[in-house]
């Protein structure tokens, strides 16, 4: 392999710290200086010190990994992965904490492919791959004696600490003030943010002793149906936000289809358990509230689908969004494959109508009372334009690309609104299907999205922002319900009461567990009547 040039070990590590500080951490430097421009009084010395402190901190952290044979592959990997993280942070304001790492690692190849575009490929090639190649072309001059290498590393680390300590002595209050008022900064420093998040995820997932599997609702009992069995469609939406539902006050007619079916009730004030599918879906099916949700416990516990199944209801899960995140492990499941339907799929993803295919045969195979859960791909970004067919290109012009930050705001919102309108079309088709079944069953449809989405508001795109920092667009979600006259009569539901509560009351994913059990008239120690949003409107 040709040698580009020779450099001693300690200067090389310092050079790597400079590259990470000024190239890959450009987004955090921009954020830092944006914060400073909004402060009334800023010390010039404090401003100048920021990149020096960042370089010193990175140099201190990097030195223990500057071991012969480890250095080049280790930092090459950090350069490439750090480049990807840098792009996402700069373009979409994504924060890479443990939850985001979990979301990434649980993303299927089709979803991951949708994030690829020319902009990110060029960015990664120039800021990640090229520096990694150059690193391999450098000949590193290590100290002749191993103990000298240790001494030199220690001296460099001490020098870094002295610089940080000197700056802290002069500007500690300034750093402390900015840090207190901008708690996201420590989650933006590359590679510390995603490296720490990855270690935490791997530790919690693979190196933590699992608790005994917890069953739920072993005492569950259900009041038997009176005249007809019940057929429920439980629809889990993807990335839909309440603000873009016309039934919730949005100016555009994005609910053009369900508004025509009659008696669809839209709940205006509902909030999600998380800001990413990997968190929200397991959380909404568990009996834990958002504030005490534990992903490890949820993955090692039954959920409300298990409780419903224990009472004799036949269940089926149909998935068009790359997996159920573990909630359907113990019930019959159909995972839609993009290669199975040439009409409704393009080889990578499928339109949500595909879940209506063969539905009559699937219902016929199930016995007694039936619950079918549908997991939509809905408004999954950034390739929103791939979520609806040509006939649903209603709002134009659209953003027909994955690097959505390069579209105009009008194009981006148009495309996203088309996904919402298409979801509405599919929900209306499901309601019409249930109406046809109403002579055989008491039918009901319940729709709720997993989380919302940012569309450039405050510079944020997509989702996954830590919950306590997430904007309303990522947590305020739609929820709708439709009930047949037979179901309303059988359950003694006061629809006027339900419509009133849907407008004035606040709900969340916390309500889903007990609300579904309540609709099935299930009594159990795990049922919480205070969280059953239908209970107040039943006589």
Q: What is the pLDDT of residues 167-210, one digit of tens each?
A: 999 998 888 888 878 877 878 899 999 999 999 888 888 888 77
394-400 long-range contacts (CB < 8 A, ≥24 apart) are: 394/418, 394/421, 395/252, 395/421
Whether 90 maps to a domain, the answer reads yes
Of the residues 155, 182, 206, which one is the last residue of a structural domain? Answer: 206
Task: Say if residue 325 is in the same domain as residue 461.
Answer: yes
Mean pLDDT of 6-17: 96
Helix ranges (H only) for 437-494 are 472-475, 485-491
Whether 332 maps to a domain, the answer reads yes
Binning pLDDT at 50, 70 and 90, where does residue 132 land? very high
Q: Report the Cα–Cα distance between both ends of the chain, in Å, rounded.
A: 81
Percentage of the residues of the chain whose pLDDT score is greater than 70? 99
152 CB-near residues (< 8 Å, 6+ apart)? 9, 10, 143
User: What tens digit of pLDDT does each residue of 33-91 get?
Assistant: 888 888 878 899 999 999 999 999 999 999 999 999 999 999 999 999 999 999 999 88
User: What tens digit of pLDDT does each residue of 490-508 get?
Assistant: 999 999 999 999 999 999 9
Within 10 angstroms of residue 350's Cβ, the number of other Cβ atoms is: 25
Residue 383 pLDDT > 80: yes
Task: Say if residue 257 is in the same domain as residue 310.
Answer: yes
Q: Which two tokens stand for residue 251?
A: 């100016």
Of the residues 206, 238, 267, which one is the last residue of a structural domain? Answer: 206
Of the residues 154, 177, 206, which one is the last residue of a structural domain? Answer: 206
Task: Say if residue 200 is in the same domain as residue 247.
Answer: no
Task: Say if residue 242 is in the same domain as residue 195.
Answer: no
Whether 242 maps to a domain, the answer reads yes
> What are the beta bridge partners of residue 221?
523
Mean pLDDT in the chain? 93
Binning pLDDT at 50, 70 and 90, where does residue 98 land? confident
Q: How many domains does the chain have?
A: 2
Cα 140 from chain centre: 42
d(CA 403, CA 23): 21
Phi, psi of 179 (to 5 degrees): -65, -40
User: What tens digit of pLDDT does each residue of 467-477 get?
Assistant: 998 999 999 99
Whether 211 maps to a domain, the answer reads no
Binning pLDDT at 50, 70 and 90, where does residue 225 land? low
- Does pTM top 0.85 for this prediction? yes
Residue 104 pLDDT > 70: yes
Residue 109 pLDDT > 90: no
Whether 20 maps to a domain, the answer reads yes
* Higher per-residue confidence, 225 vs 309: 309
Residue 1 pLDDT > 70: no
Task: Say if residue 291 is in the same domain as residue 150.
Answer: no
Mean pLDDT of 528-532: 97
CATH code where residue 486 lies: 3.40.720.10
d(CA 97, CA 104): 11
Task: Say if residue 184 is in the same domain as residue 239.
Answer: no
Task: Say if residue 283 is in the same domain as residue 407.
Answer: yes
Mean pLDDT of 110-130: 87
Strands 138-141, 5-8: pairing kind: parallel
| 29-38, 280-289, 307-316: the lowest-pLDDT one | 29-38
Binning pLDDT at 50, 70 and 90, where does residue 340 land? confident
How would DSSP label each residue in 8-68?
EHHHHHHHHHHHIIIIITHHHHHHHHHHHHT-S---HHHHHHHHHHHHHHHHHHHGGG--T
Q: Which domain holds residue 118?
A: 5-206
| Alpha carbon separation from 169 to 49, 162, 166, 176 (Å, rounded) | 12, 10, 5, 12
Whether 245 maps to a domain, the answer reads yes
The DSSP 8-state label assigned to residue 318 in this structure reads E
> What's the confidence (pLDDT) of residue 41?
83
Mean pLDDT of 316-339: 94
Is the backbone of residue 201 left (phi > 0), alpha (psi -120 to 50) or beta?
alpha
């Amino acid at each position: 392999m040709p040698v580009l040039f020779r450099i001693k070990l300690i200067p090389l590590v310092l050079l790597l710290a400079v590259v990470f500080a000024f190239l890959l951490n450009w987004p955090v430097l921009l954020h830092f200086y944006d914060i400073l421009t909004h402060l009334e009084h800023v010390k010039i010395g404090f401003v100048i010190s920021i990149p020096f402190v960042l370089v010193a901190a990175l140099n201190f952290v990097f030195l223990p990994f500057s071991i012969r044979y480890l250095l080049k592959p280790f930092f090459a990997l950090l350069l490439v992965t750090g480049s990807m993280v840098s792009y996402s942070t700069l373009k979409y304001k994504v924060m890479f904490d443990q939850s985001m790492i979990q979301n990434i690692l649980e993303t299927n190849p089709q979803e991951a492919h949708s994030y690829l575009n020319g902009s990110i490929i060029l960015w990664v090639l120039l800021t990640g791959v090229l520096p990694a190649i150059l690193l391999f072309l450098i000949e590193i001059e290590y100290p002749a004696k191993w103990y000298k290498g240790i001494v030199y590393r220690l001296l460099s680390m001490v020098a870094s600490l002295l610089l940080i300590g000197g700056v802290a002595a002069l500007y500690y209050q300034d750093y402390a003030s900015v840090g207190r008022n901008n708690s996201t900064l420590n989650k933006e420093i590359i590679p510390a943010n995603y490296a720490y998040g990855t270690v935490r995820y791997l530790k919690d997932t693979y190196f933590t002793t699992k608790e005994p599997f917890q069953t739920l609702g072993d005492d569950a009992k259900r009041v038997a149906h009176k005249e007809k069995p019940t057929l429920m469609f439980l629809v889990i939406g993807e990335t839909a936000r309440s603000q873009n539902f016309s039934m919730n006050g949005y100016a555009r007619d994005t609910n053009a289809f369900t508004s025509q079916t009659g008696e669809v009730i839209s709940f205006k004030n509902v909030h999600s358990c998380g800001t990413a599918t990997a968190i929200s879906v397991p959380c909404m099916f568990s009996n834990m509230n958002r504030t005490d949700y534990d992903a490890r416990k949820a993955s090692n516990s039954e959920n409300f689908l298990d409780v419903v199944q224990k009472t004799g209801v036949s269940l089926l899960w149909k998935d068009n969004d790359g997996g159920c995140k573990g909630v359907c492990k113990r019930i019959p499941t159909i995972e839609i494959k993009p290669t199975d339907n040439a009409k409704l799929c393009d080889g990578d993803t499928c339109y949500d109508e595909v879940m209506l295919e063969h539905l009559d045969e699937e219902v016929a195979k199930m016995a007694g009372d039936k619950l079918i859960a549908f997991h939509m791909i809905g408004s999954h970004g950034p390739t929103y334009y791939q979520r609806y067919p040509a006939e649903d290109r209603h709002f134009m012009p659209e953003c027909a690309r994955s690097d959505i930050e390069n579209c105009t705001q009008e194009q981006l919102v148009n495309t996203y609104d088309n996904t919402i309108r298409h979801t509405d079309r599919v929900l209306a088709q499901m309601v019409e299907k249930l109406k046809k079944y109403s002579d055989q069953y008491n039918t009901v449809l319940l729709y709720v999205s997993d989380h919302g989405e940012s569309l450039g508001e405050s510079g944020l795109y997509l989702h996954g922002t830590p919950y306590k920092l997430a904007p309303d667009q990522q947590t305020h979600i739609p929820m709708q319900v439709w009930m047949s006259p037979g179901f309303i009569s059988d359950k003694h539901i006061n629809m006027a009461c339900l419509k009133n509560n849907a407008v004035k009351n606040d709900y969340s994913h916390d309500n889903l567990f007990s609300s579904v059990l309540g609709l099935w008239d299930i009594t159990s120690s795990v049922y919480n009547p205070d969280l059953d949003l239908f209970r107040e409107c039943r006589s």
